[in-house]
Amino acid sequence: MAEKILMKGNEAIGEAAVVAGCRHYFGYPITPQSELIEYMAKRMPQVNGVFLQAESEVAAINMVYGAAGAGARVMTSSSSPGISLKQEGISYIAGAELPCVIVNMVRGGPGLGSIQPGQCDYFQATKGGGHGDYHNIVLAPNSVQEMVDCTVLAFELADKYRNPVMILGDGALGQMMEPVSFPEKSAEAPAKPWASTGLKGRKEPNVINSLHIQAPDLEKHNYHLQMKYRTIKENERRWEEYRTDDAELVLVAYGITARVAQSAMEMARAAGLKVGLFRPITAWPFPYEELGRLVKTAKGFMSVELSAGQMVEDVRLAVNGAKPVYFYGRTGGMICSPKEVFGIVKKIMLGEEEK
Amino acid sequence: MAEIAFARPESLRDVPFHYCPGCHHGIIHRLVAEVIDELKVRDRTVGVMPVGCSVLAYEYFNFDTQEAAHGRAPAVATGVKRVHPDNVVFSYQGDGDLASIGCAEIVHAAARGEKITTVFVNNAIYGMTGGQMAPTSLPDQVTTTSPYGRKVESVGMPIKVCEMLSTLDGAKYIARVAVNNPANMAKAKAAIRKAFEVQLSGLGFAIVEVLSTCPTNWGMSPLEAVGWMEKNMMPYYPLGVFKTPEEVAK
């Protein structure tokens, strides 16, 4: 690890991509992630890479498809409305089993929404987003340093599973500055004998494709994808727990909200209330098992989100009716404060809050 | 010793086409394959295949391919070309694909001077989805979504893709051809060859529009369809070279 430098979240992701061996970036400007596309515009030529500003998000993700199919480590980034446009391409990329990294600095929605932070893209990030039965691997960092670590990891996981990986950030994480350090390099990209590089002496052509026009063939392909997703679920769940051992109320939060929830937890502990925090780092695969284990000790759970309640559905699945699940969220680009969350925590623990 | 005068191009696999009787895709596939063979670039070619009737083209061409979403072939081809600048990359697209849903992608690939080649098959109708109106359907042409004929006062005039793209500096070679008779097939092949040579010279974007029939959706016999194309399409979509760089003009 090199020395620490102060960097903005969006730019730190860009530098981490360079470290990870990403040499192709295709994007389209949108607030609040424009610093990332600007960083790549500056950085890619310096490392003999390719930067291209596409005519639209739709074109950008399809350039990613082409580059990933041709064997490159490739990235794109956007924010909520732009990610909606990219969903067509993401479905094709998932269907064709291509590795790529997609960054989503989420902002308030729906529609044009706002340019302030949000977590209202959880559903589209984790439940498919585009058409068909598929999943992205979704990494949800909560600091600028973790955005660096997750970006490097994202490229490795993408190649390992030939699957799109999404970094699910938000406007606050993208815009904030924190000290970070970068690894010297990431694991080398594996050989990609399946890529469409031109035959170059190979006998059989490589075809990058998501079309299986015969129904039995497509079903077989879907079974194959589901088997892969099962492997990912078994091997790639990531999470952190804070003071959950004796917690009566477990807060569940990811990304920027996890930091708010952690402060609220500390306020609660100072007031003698046994509160803990469970933080998914992989939003997909969601750590159901690990969260579910806490039903033995906790009396209740509360999902804290910058949405009208999306991850709370996964929390309910994990808790499976064993204990009450509460929800607290802000929307529209509003961020909850630790004091505000602590207020809700107090009410719940005194039995005043409805489920 | 007998000499082989005519054989299947190496760039075309020995499998039967699925295309309807009288459809021109088979001829156009063959011309593309012959050109790639003759230029000796099969080993470094990546074709980007479209949505539409030619969606299965990757089963016919004998080199690496990628299947793109509707209209996105120029963007996909851009991604491939930027990773492997030494590859020969082309998109093969129909008129619904290129002139409607993928209009932005083709315009911007041309504007960037993307060093790719596009083979654009214009049969003035949506084929695979069952004969709906295309942006290239002619005035008063009856289709399943223009059952009273294409009314230009409500849906506008057909798009002349070659003429439109000719305004862009990044587009270096633009030609419209047809494969309605052997003489025109020879001209079509020459144009396709030149479009690939422009790419090999690194000059910029090249496109060849090939006027084509759709007997099934036009409701005609193959011969009637050729006649209809000559009588109705050729006057509106004149054949010829719209742009050519001096370096390959010769």
Chain B residues with beta carbon closer than 8 angstroms to that of A207 = 58, 64-67
> Which tokens belong to B15?
């499998």
The tens digit of pLDDT for each residue in A253-276 reads 999 999 999 999 999 999 999 999
CB contact under 8 Å between B82 and A63, yes or no, is yes
Under a CB-based contact definition with an 8 Å cutoff, are residues B197 and B175 in contact?
A: no
- What are the φ/ψ torsions at residue B227 (nearest 5 degrees)? -60, -45
CB contact under 8 Å between A196 and B58, yes or no, is no
End-to-end CA separation in angstroms for chain A = 45
Chain A to chain B Cβ contacts (< 8 Å): 135
The residues in B 84-103 lying below 8 A from A, measured between CB atoms, are 84, 87-88
Chain B residues with beta carbon closer than 8 angstroms to that of A50 = 82-83
Instruction: Quote the minimal CA–CA distance from A132 to chain B in Å.
Output: 14
The reported pLDDT for the residue numbered A355 is: 53
The residues in A 216-275 lying below 8 A from B, measured between CB atoms, are none
Gyration radius of chain A's alpha carbons:
21
CB contact under 8 Å between A59 and B72, yes or no, is yes
Closest-CA residue of A relative to B108 is A55
Other CB atoms within 10 Å distance of the CB of residue A211: 17
Closest by Cα among A119, A19, A100, A33 to A62:
A100
Other CB atoms within 10 Å distance of the CB of residue A115: 17
Closest-CA residue of B relative to A59 is B75
The reported pLDDT for the residue numbered A350 is: 85
B6 vs A273, higher pLDDT: A273
Given CB atoms, is A334 within the 8 Å cutoff of chain B?
A: no
Residue of B43, B49, B53, B83 best to disrupt the A interface, most CBs of A under 10 A: B83
The tens digit of pLDDT for each residue in A146-164 reads 999 999 999 999 999 999 9
pLDDT band for position B143 (cuts 50, 70, 90): very high
The reported pLDDT for the residue numbered A2 is: 67
SS3 for chain B, per residue? CCCCCCCCCCCECCCCCCCCCCCCHHHHHHHHHHHHHHCCCHHHEEEEECCCHHHHHHHCECCEEEECCCCCHHHHHHHHHHHCCCCEEEEEEEHHHHHHHCHHHHHHHHHHCCCCEEEEEECCCCCCCCCCCCCCCCCCCCECCECCCCCHHHHCCCCCHHHHHCCCCCEEEEEEEECCCHHHHHHHHHHHHHHHHHHHCCCCEEEEEEECCCHHHHCCCHHHHHHHHHHHHHHHCCCEEEECCHHHHC
Half-sphere exposure (Cβ direction) of A213: Cα atoms closer than 13 Å: 8
Percent of chain A with pLDDT over 70: 98
Under a CB-based contact definition with an 8 Å cutoff, are residues A318 and A250 in contact?
A: no
Given CB atoms, is B15 within the 8 Å cutoff of chain A?
A: no
Q: Say yes or no to pLDDT of B76 above 60.
A: yes
Rounded Cα distance, B114 and B206, in Å: 9
Residue of A74, A97, A194, A196 best to disrupt the B interface, most CBs of B under 10 A: A196
Half-sphere exposure (Cβ direction) of B53: Cα atoms closer than 13 Å: 31
Task: Calculate the average pLDDT of chain A.
Answer: 97
Closest residue to B79, CB basis, from A63, A92, A207: A63
Given the cut 0.90, state whether the ipTM is greater than it.
Answer: yes
Under a CB-based contact definition with an 8 Å cutoff, are residues A99 and A163 in contact?
A: yes
Give residue B156's region: left, alpha or beta (phi > 0; psi -120 to 50): left
Q: Say yes or no to pLDDT of B173 above 90.
A: yes
- pTM to 2 decimal places: 0.97
Kindly give the pairing relationship between strand A249-252 and strand A24-27. unpaired
Given CB atoms, is B48 within the 8 Å cutoff of chain A?
A: yes
**Strand pairing partners for B120?**
B93, B209
pLDDT band for position B249 (cuts 50, 70, 90): low
Closest residue to B83, CB basis, from A70, A96, A206: A70
Tracing tokens 């430098």 back to the chain, one arrives at A5
The tens digit of pLDDT for each residue in A37-94 reads 999 999 999 999 999 999 999 999 999 999 999 999 999 999 999 999 999 999 999 9
Mean of pLDDT values over A347-354: 78
CB contact under 8 Å between A66 and B78, yes or no, is yes
Closest residue to B80, CB basis, from A58, A59, A69: A69
Given CB atoms, is A52 within the 8 Å cutoff of chain B?
A: yes
The tens digit of pLDDT for each residue in A179-228 reads 999 998 888 899 999 999 999 999 999 999 999 999 999 999 999 999 99
CB contact under 8 Å between A207 and B64, yes or no, is yes
Chain B residues with beta carbon closer than 8 angstroms to that of A200 = 43-44
Rounded Cα distance, A113 and B179, in Å: 51
SS3 for chain A, per residue? CCCCEEEEHHHHHHHHHHHCCCCEEEECCCCCCHHHHHHHHHHHHHCCCEEEECCCHHHHHHHHHHHHHCCCCEEEEECHHHHHHHHHHHHHHHHHCCCEEEEEEEECCCCCCCCCECCCCHHHHHCCCCCCCCCCEEECCCCHHHHHHHHHHHHHHHHHHCCEEEEEEEHHHHHCEEEECCCCCCCCCCCCCCCCCCCCCCCCCCEECCCCCCHHHHHHHHHHHHHHHHHHHHHCCCEEEECCCCCCEEEECCHHHHHHHHHHHHHHHHCCCCEEEEEECEEECCCHHHHHHHHHCCCEEEEEECCCCCHHHHHHHHHCCCCCEEEEECCCCCCCCHHHHHHHHHHHHCCCCCC
Instruction: Quote the minimal CA–CA distance from B217 to chain A in Å.
Output: 21
Q: What angle do CA A209, A215, A216 make, to 5 degrees?
A: 100
pLDDT band for position A353 (cuts 50, 70, 90): low
Chain A residues with beta carbon closer than 8 angstroms to that of B108 = 54-55, 59
Q: Say yes or no to pLDDT of B42 above 80.
A: yes
Instruction: Quote the minimal CA–CA distance from B241 to chain A in Å.
Output: 27
